[in-house]
Chains A and B, each alone.
Chain A
Amino acid sequence: MSHPAIVIIGGGPAGMSAAVAAATQGLACTIVDEGFDLGGQIYRKPTNPARAPAPHPRGENLRAEIARLAQHISVRTGDSAWGIFDGLRIAVTSPDEHTELLQPQAVILAPGAHELVPPFPGWTLPGVMTPGAAQILIKTMGVAPGKRVLVAGTGPFLLAVACQLVDAGVHVVAVLEASSRPAWLSLPLHGFRTPEILAEGLAYLSKLDRAHVPVRYGRIVVTAQGETELNAVEHAPVDAEWFPDNNRIEIEQVDTLLVGYGFVPRVQLAQMAGCNLELRPDVGGWIPVRDRNLATSVGGIFAAGDGAGVAGSLVAAFEGQLAGMTAARFLGAIDEATFTAARYPVEQELARLKPLRRALDKISALQPGLMSLVRDDTLVCRCEEVTWREAREAVCAGSTTYRSLKMTSRAGMGACQGRFCWPFLSRLVAAEAKCSLADIGPPSARPPLGPITLGALASEPRDK
């Protein structure tokens, strides 16, 4: 096999749009996505179409474009990119355990984001899951996550998932949004240039209203209860900093709790490649530093979509397009003038989407009260089953960086490499040690990103 000019990691809206933009310039692209199909979190096709909601037209359009450019785009779904080595060499392993090193001339990172779940008492009970996981159950398999479901956290994503649950015939007890109602009511002020998105939000709200699903603002879940599985949830009203009023706790009998407090960009490949990172809590935490054209600090590596700062599927698609064009310019497939002319409309669209996005980021910004839910015996690292007491003792003894906390408490030592626990654990550490998140730093990223066996690693590479 000859090496593609561009490898795109992630086949969501960002990755698909990047491939279309670059392939349109005649460049050979390979999209690597560990999902079973292109589309990413939002446009992935159902495995059981009969029972799943209808596919999204924007996703179908991108799919059609990719098919039209099939001559230039090779799609490797099911394959996982687990390491990036000296420059632009990317290790990819297929489900049949075959490992291969791709050596393109440019790389576009579009790996998306994962959901953010805070630790709180009971959060590891079976029956507590993320809205995204529930969505996958409904969307791809047509399976309901439970009978009585409570949805909690922050952001419009909760409304989208609640609606999908309603459509699937699930009884949604309530949606609890941590931020206050006045904050949300101010949103239209920032969204007049993006009426279609506001309309989508309003449609969610009215659907929930019709289905008698209350949306309760300014409330958070404080504990999940149950012996072997979830049977009740306690929630309480919060102040502006999300500190709960424990005198006004309500109890809800449910078998399923969906908790999501936004998303965290997947920056590990960028980090492994040596791209400079910056801390931007407003868009999900650590992100690669990018220039106007979405080039990272490492030559030949570009980053687009939620993986480079959470901003939603529309921004992801436009960023993907820009990154694809920038890569094409980098490889000499388009000249400067063409590039600048083509960039203009994309930048216009990104600028149009920005005010609403900013306002949303602000409303849903994590507040310190969320960190007050953790008790001594709450697990703060699921992989290694480390409790907050154990982690806090290590912090008090001076372990205030990811590395030293990992060494002394094993928090973050597990297979996820701190991806899931560190966004919150770092906040807990910062509060305890009175230092800043920037001082504490991101968790280090080491290959392999996902699980691969020694056998797969030792397999003779197809390509030398």
Chain B
Amino acid sequence: MTSTADVVVIGGGAIGSSVAFALARRGASVTLLDASTPGRATSASAGGLWSLGESLGLGCGVILHTAQKGVGDGPAPLPRTFMDFLWASNLRFPSLAAELRTLCGIDIEAESATGLLYLVYDDEQERHASRIVEWAGSDHGQVERWTPQHVHNREPLITHDLRSAIHFPGDNQVNPMLLTEALKRGACAKGARFIAEARVRAFRCSNGRVVAVESDKGTIACGAVVNAAGAWGAQIARLASIEIPIQPVRGQIICTEALRPGTLRSNLSTRDCYILQKAHGEVIIGSTTEYCDFNTEVRYEDMCSLAAGAIRAVPALRNVTLKRAWAGLRPGTPDELPILGPAAELENFFHATGGFRTGIVAAPLTGEVVAASVLGQTPEFPIEPFLAHRFQFLTA
């Protein structure tokens, strides 16, 4: 079977679906290919939209940084452009939610007033928190220090053994699976074609261009290719003889039975874990950040320590029943920034991967800038900081 499309997008996670939607919306003919691979990040994800918390290193990134750098000074924030990028992407959720609801009838459960609370337990974290708040400034809503009293007024279940908290007002949450499903269906409503179980096996190239994509569900002649294969992005690139430094970074998560919605109003982050209640009432507690190749097992010890971390923050969780544990593979990069835009090696090959810990919050804007870049338009956010090019010295 051979068919044609202007653009073939590889990978049907949040990122690929968003790119396909943005392309279809711009009138391009798009084919989105996906394969079910254990460990797909989007369906494993917590769905936190923590544009500030994560770019300041206070989401689950805490775990990676503390592991790497020792507990000492704590995490260094990521570059400010990245924070701006995530912030701009996050701002798109309310209108995107409305658009997707109209287009395909799916409510992506984007919450608007939850906010993220980072809990500060000791002196060292207290010092660190002060630096973070100072660095964050006030361009992106008012990042505030909250007293324990203030925390308890809003979240009575949080531990009293607390120094303070940092409140990030715009950092809410979404349902990542529904977001992705809606983007996919929205793309199809705008004329895109979605092919499930179409694992990409090879590219046909000619004169420095990809001319066709070979998959388990047939060969598709194309004008351009977008690599949105998440943690498998390096493998897809390699099929086109392109090297990019994507590494799978495992995240394990545990999830409780449904509690009364509103039991926890805010998203919580601590040194040990993050905790958020989803729309249907389940509480999600994540997550580890570890390099272990493509292994997607859940470890007993990590489940135990996530549980202990959650009980420390919200003691009442002790009596709550655990429903499920799982793991996913984040597409990690050495500098923790995504890899977006044209590949230097092939004229019509584009990357949309490296979403790492923030691929969900980044999905709306990632879709926009990659689609614009594929179609030769000017992206609404500069794509330069995210070009694969920046790693040349690594892969040369």
Instruction: Find the residue from A403, A455, A461 having the highest chain B CB count within 10 A.
Output: A455
Q: Which of A421-464 contact B (CB under 8 A)?
A: 446-448, 451-455, 457-458, 461
**Contact A410 B303, CB 8 Å, known A446-B326, A453-B319:** no
> Measured between alpha carbons, how far is A398 from B181 in the docked complex, in Å?
10
* Interface presence of B322 (CB below 8 A): yes
- Expressed in whole angstroms, the Cα–Cα distance for A89 and B106 within the complex equals 41
Best-buried of A86, A91, A407, A451 by chain B (most CB within 10 Å): A407
Smallest CB–CB gap between A327 and chain B, Å? Answer: 23
Contacts of B297 in A (CB 8 A): 85-86
Interface residues of A in 402-424 (CB under 8 A from B): 403-404, 407-408, 410, 414-415, 417
Which residues of the partner chain A approach B325 to less than 8 Å between Cβ atoms?
83, 446-448
- Is B177 positioned at the interface, with any CB of A under 8 Å from its CB? yes
User: Could you mark each residue 203-227 of chain B with 1 if its beta carbon is under 8 Å from any beta carbon of chain A, else 0?
Assistant: 0000000000000000000000000
User: With A398-B196, A407-B178, A415-B257 known to touch, is A452 a contact of B300 (CB < 8 Å)?
Assistant: no
On chain B, the residues within 8 Å of A448 by CB distance are: 322-325
Encode contact with A along B289-328: 1 for CB under 8 Å, 0 otherwise.
0000000011110011001101100000111111111100
Is A293 positioned at the interface, with any CB of B under 8 Å from its CB? no
| A398-B194, A403-B36, A407-B43 as given contacts; A454 in contact with B307, CB under 8 Å | yes
- Is B256 close to A, CB under 8 A? yes
Shortest Cβ distance from residue B223 to the other chain A in the assembled complex, whole angstroms = 25
Q: Which residues of B contact A85 (CB under 8 A)?
A: 297-300
Known: A397-B185, A401-B36, A407-B178. A455 touches B318 (CB 8 A): yes
- CA–CA, A415 and B185, complex, Å: 28
Decide yes or no: A91 and B322 within 8 Å by CB, A397-B185, A454-B307, A458-B307 being known contacts: no
Interface pair A458/B280, CB less than 8 Å apart: no
A455's nearest neighbour on chain B, judged by CB, is B318
Give bound CA distance, A448 to B307, whole Å.
13
Residue of A99, A101, A401, A447 near B298 (CB, 8 A) is: A447
B345 to A: closest C-beta gap in Å? 34
B43 contact from A403, A447, A451, Cβ within 8 A: A403
Interface size class, chain B:
20 to 34
> Nearest Cβ in chain A — how far from B121, in angstroms?
17
Do the beta carbons of A86 and B299 come within 8 Å of each other?
yes
The smallest beta-carbon distance between A268 and chain B, in angstroms, is: 12
For window 80-131 of A, CB contacts with B under 8 Å fall at 83, 85-86, 89, 91, 99, 101
Question: Assuming the A-B contacts A397-B185, A403-B36, are A453 and B320 also in contact, with contact meaning beta carbons closer than 8 angstroms in the complex?
Answer: yes
On chain A, the residues within 8 Å of B196 by CB distance are 398
A385 vs B254: C-alpha distance when bound (angstroms) = 23
A89-B300, A91-B300, A401-B36 in contact; A454/B311 too (CB < 8 A)?
A: yes
User: Of all chain B residues, which has the CB nearest A449?
Assistant: B324
Once the chains are docked, how many angstroms separate the CA of A448 from the CA of B308?
A: 16
For B36, list chain A residues within 8 Å (CB).
Answer: 401, 403
User: How far does the alpha carbon of A458 sit from the alpha carbon of B257 in the complex, in Å?
Assistant: 17
Smallest CB–CB gap between B372 and chain A, Å? Answer: 28
Known: A407-B181, A446-B325, A447-B325. A455 touches B311 (CB 8 A): yes
Chain B residues closer than 8 Å to A446, beta-carbon distance? 298, 324-326
Q: How large is the interface on A (under 10, 10 to 19, 20 to 34, 35 or more residues)?
A: 20 to 34
Cβ contact within 8 Å between B43 and A457: no
Task: Tell which of A398, A447, A453, A461 touches B321, judged by Cβ atoms closer than 8 Å.
Answer: A453
Complex Cα spacing A89 to B299, Å: 10
Q: Whose C-beta in chain A lies nearest to the C-beta of B180?
A: A407
Q: Do A415 and B323 contact each other (CB < 8 Å), given the known contacts A403-B36, A407-B43? A: yes
Point out the residues of chain A lying under 8 angstroms from B194, CB to CB.
398
Contact B300 A101 (CB under 8 A): yes
Measured CA separation A377–B133 after assembly (Å)? 52
Q: Say yes or no: B303 contacts A447, CB within 8 Å.
A: yes
Q: Decide: A458 near B318, CB < 8 A? Known: A85-B297, A397-B185.
A: yes
Instruction: Determine if A454 and B317 form an interchain contact, defined as CB atoms under 8 angstroms apart.
Output: yes
Q: Which residue of A lies closest to B285 (CB)?
A: A454
- The minimal Cβ–Cβ distance linking A447 to chain B, given in whole angstroms, is 5
| Alpha-carbon distance between A179 and B321 when the two chains are bound, in angstroms | 41
Distance in Å: Cβ of A109 to nearest Cβ of chain B: 18
Shortest CB-to-CB span from A102 to chain B, Å, is 11
Mark out the residues of chain A between 243 and 262 whose CB falls within 8 Å of any chain B CB in the assembled complex.
Answer: none
- Within 303-361 of B, Cβ neighbours of A (below 8 Å) are at 303-304, 307-308, 310-311, 317-326
Distance in Å: Cβ of B281 to nearest Cβ of chain A: 11
Q: Is the CB of B322 within 8 A of A457?
A: yes
Residues of A within 8 A of B300 (CB): 83, 85, 89, 91, 101, 447
Most buried by B among A89, A91, A457: A457
A390 CB, min distance to chain B CBs, angstroms: 12
Assess whether B298 is in contact with A457, with CB atoms less than 8 Å apart: no
A451 contacts B178, C-beta separation under 8 Å? no
Closest to B106 in A: A408
User: Is the beta-carbon distance between B322 and A452 smaller than 8 angstroms?
Assistant: yes
| Nearest chain A residue, comparing its CB with the CB of B175 | A407
* Nearest Cβ on chain B to A148's Cβ, whole angstroms: 36
Whether the Cβ atoms of B181 and A451 lie closer than 8 Å is: no
Distance (Å) between the CB of A462 and the closest chain B CB?
13
Q: For B324, give the chain A residue with the smallest CB separation.
A: A446
Looking at A99, A403, A448, A451, the one whose CB has the most chain B CB atoms below 10 A away is A448
Q: List 5 A-B contacts (CB under 8 A).
A: A83-B325, A89-B300, A446-B298, A454-B319, A455-B319
Give 18 new A-B contacts, CB below 8 A, not counting A397-B185, A403-B36, A447-B325: A85-B299, A86-B299, A91-B300, A398-B196, A403-B43, A446-B298, A446-B324, A447-B298, A451-B321, A451-B322, A452-B321, A454-B254, A454-B311, A454-B322, A455-B307, A455-B318, A457-B303, A458-B311
Q: Which 4 A-B pairs have the closest CB atoms?
A: A455-B318, A407-B177, A457-B307, A458-B308
